[in-house]
Structure formats: structure tokens, C-alpha cells
Amino acid sequence: MMTLIYFLIAIAILVFVHEMGHFLAARQCGVQVERFSIGFGKELLKWVSRRSGTEWAISAIPLGGYVKMNEADFESKALRARAWIVLAGPLANLVFAAFAYAFLFHAGREEPQALLAQPKAQTVAATAGLREGDRVLAIEDRDVRSFNELRWRIAQSLVGEGAKEIRLRVARGDGQVLTPVLRLSDVGAAAFSGDPAAAVLAMGLVPMSESVRVIRVQEGSVAQAAGLRNGDRILKVGTEEVRQPESVIARVQESKGQPLELVVSDGTSRERVLVTPRAGQDGVFRIGAVVGGDVAMIHIEEDPVDALVKGITRTWEMSVLTFRALGRMVMGELSWRQISGPVTIAETAGQSAGNGLQAFIGFLAMISISIAVLNLLPIPMLDGGHLMYYLWEFVRGRPLPAEVQEAGRRVGVALIMALTAVALFNDFARIAGW
């Protein structure tokens, strides 16, 4: 239930931001706004502004919204005014994202240092000669301060640019500074069909951990039945000492349901715990505990001016990355399985809210950019489609014929429905483990 509530809160905020962009631009250009609605369908709340005469409404289906303008007012305006009103919606989403990121950069955050664990054998990181304790300083001449930034830079190179290799600058404990190259052609294509974080893991890039800690034990799980508690450190799985959470996860998944003996510590004493992994609906064996690494952290905080600059930069980079990723999907260079639907977005909203205000704000910024990019696509029915019509009008000196615009709207509806179907299919495929 809380996941649904956080999802609806996120949608309401971002729809309000988008439509407020259209509203403010319309008022600036002297266009009467007759109605501003958050949601569709039956009205739950409604009031009329005495000052502007605009009717404000909150409706029962909170999965969108709209601004209804006086059509005669709108059509009477110059081309540049109409284009500005249409553009202002996506622009408002981008401005919101920039300020959200600026807030996060200024508020400061604890992030894992860019210290690497020993890469698994035969991964591209191992082939490139990376070792435990190597500190990544830069990726393709772009500085890196934390493992989160490392992941982000690789996502830019991998998803946005389709890079075949990535050059690092690495400091080794003995004072050497090396420039190893990660050759992505050596990684199976399946590793890149999901999110960039999975691709980074497939490359063998993992933050160095001192031990494995149990972050959360799920209610009714086999881990709870075995006596595991939040905060426990897992020192061994069987006779193997473990320091990386990936090692524990791999041993659990490889167990095929056979009992595993864990050596755990609560900080004062050690004990042996026998746990029997259970297969989920997707066939993957789990014990019902979330584990993480005890990694060295770094506090990163920017002054207000630098935070705003970084917020604008991050918004621009995310927008470009999203456009490039969509372009590569159209060209068949990137899997359509990366498109997420409302189910995945709702889950992410709930998880981010559960991780605190900063995580939820970061989620809002990311989705706000996605809404802006989606609306700027040159698809009739979207803001980008209207801008495409206005470009035609600017070049030819007259608008497209009404019948052509109507045909375009029908094509736009079909494309949006197809995109929605793909997103929903990906959601259910992920749930079913396909």
C-alpha cells in the first residue's frame, strides 16, 4: 500500500510541475487558462480562482493531468508564443530536476569510495589487470570521486555512447598511476540488456568490502527462521571466508536448495547458522535477507553555486543519455527491455522513499527528466509533436492541413499505446522472471 501511495505522490508532483510550466507560459503570453487538472475522470476537488478565472481540479485517476486553454486565445498568438507555451512543460520538468540534483549535491551524501575489490577471474576488469585496492581516479578523462560516480560515468559511455572500450586512470597502493582499458567486446551481450549497474558488476567492478553485513531480514523468510538478524556480519559460507556480498549471493544461488552453514558475528560473539535457500517464482534461490558490504565511505558536499552548476550539468547529461539510449533502441543497438513501466516505477518510488528523503528526491529528478524527454519526442499528441508541427509552419509559412494533423494524432496515439504495451510487458516479464 505504501508503495502505491509513494508512486501516486511522485506522479502528482511531476504532473503538477509539467502542467504548471504550460500554465505559467500561457499566462505570460496572455492566453486564458480555463482549467488546470491533476488527474482524469471524476472530480474529487474543484475550485475557481477569482483572480484568473481558472478552474482548478483534482480528479480520481491520478495518472496524468492537463491544462485546458481558451483555443481562440491560443491560436491567435504568434508562432513563437505558441511554441514557448508547448515547450514550457518539458522545460519545467528539467528545471525541477536541476534544482533537485542541486539540493542533493549541496546537502551532501555518503558514497562508497572508488576502491575496487579483487575482480573475478576472466572478467574484463581482471583481464585489464585491475587488482584489489586499486582506486579509480577518472574514466575517459572525467574525474571520479566515488563508486557511484564510477557507475554513472560508465553508464554514459556504455548506454549513451555505445563505447567499445573504456579507459580508466587508476592509482595503486605502491604509488603507481595506471591507465588500464576495459574492452567491452569481451563481455556477453546479455550483460547489457539490463541496467548499467548490472553491467558494471558483469565487468568485475565491485567496491572493496571489509565484510558482509545483513542489512535487512525479511519477515517469514528462511533467514529469519535460521536466526539471522539485522546487523549480523557473515564471515564464512561453509569453509569459505567471504568479504563481498556478491560472494554470499552467488553461493546461495548455487546451492540448489541444499543447506548452507554460515558463520556469523553480532560484534561480540560468533555462531554457526544453518540456512536452507528457497527458490522463488523465478527459479532463483534466496534466503530472504538483503546483504551489503562494509565499504569505505567518502562524504561529498558542494557549495551552493557548485551544487547548482552540477545539478544543471547532471540534468543535461541525463537528458542526453536518455535521448541517446532511445536512439540506440530504435537502431537495434540497445534492448527494449530497458524501458520500465508503471509497476517498476511504483516499486522504485516505494524503495527510494523507504531509503529516505534524499533517495526519493533523486528518484523524482530522474523520472522528471524521463517525462521531459518523452514529451519532447517528435510524436503527435506529445509536446514534441506540436513543436514538429510548428517547425513546419515556420519553414513553410503556413500550418499543416487539419486532416494531416488529425492523421498524425491517430498515429501518435498508436505509437504511445505501443510504447505503453512494451513497458507493461517488460514489467510483467521482470516479475515472471522471463
Catalytic residue among 19, 149, 301, 403: 19
Query: How far apart are alpha carbons 310 and 98 in whole angstroms?
Result: 8
Take residue 108 and report the three cell numbers written for it. 551532501
Query: How far apart are alpha carbons 422 and 411 in whole angstroms?
Result: 17
From residue 360, how far is each of 185, 232, 305, 372 by CA, in Å?
A: 35, 27, 23, 18
Closest CA to 322 of 132, 207, 156: 156
On whether the CB atoms of residues 315 and 98 are closer than 8 A, the answer is: yes
Give the torsion through C-alpha atoms of 417, 420, 425, 431, to 10 deg: -150
Query: How far apart are alpha carbons 168 and 178 in whole angstroms?
Result: 8
Based on the residue annotation, tell me whether 140 is a catalytic residue of this protein.
no
Query: How far apart are alpha carbons 309 and 345 in whole angstroms?
Result: 28
For the purposes of burial, counting CB atoms within 10 Å of the CB of 25, is it exposed (0-12), middle (13-18) or buried (19 or more)?
A: buried
**E strand residue ranges, 72-203:** 109-112, 135-139, 142-143, 165-171, 177-178, 181-183
Take residue 117 and report the three cell numbers written for it. 575489490
On whether the CB atoms of residues 186 and 203 are closer than 8 A, the answer is: no
261 three-state secondary structure = strand
DSSP class per residue in 290-338: EEEEEE-EEEE---HHHHHHHHHHHHHHHHHHHHHHHHHHHTTSS-GGG
**Number of other residues whose CB lies within 10 A of the CB of residue 44:** 12
On whether the CB atoms of residues 86 and 97 are closer than 8 A, the answer is: no
Q: What does the DSSP 8-state code read for residue 132?
A: T
**Number of other residues whose CB lies within 10 A of the CB of residue 147:** 24
Residue positions annotated with a catalytic role: 19
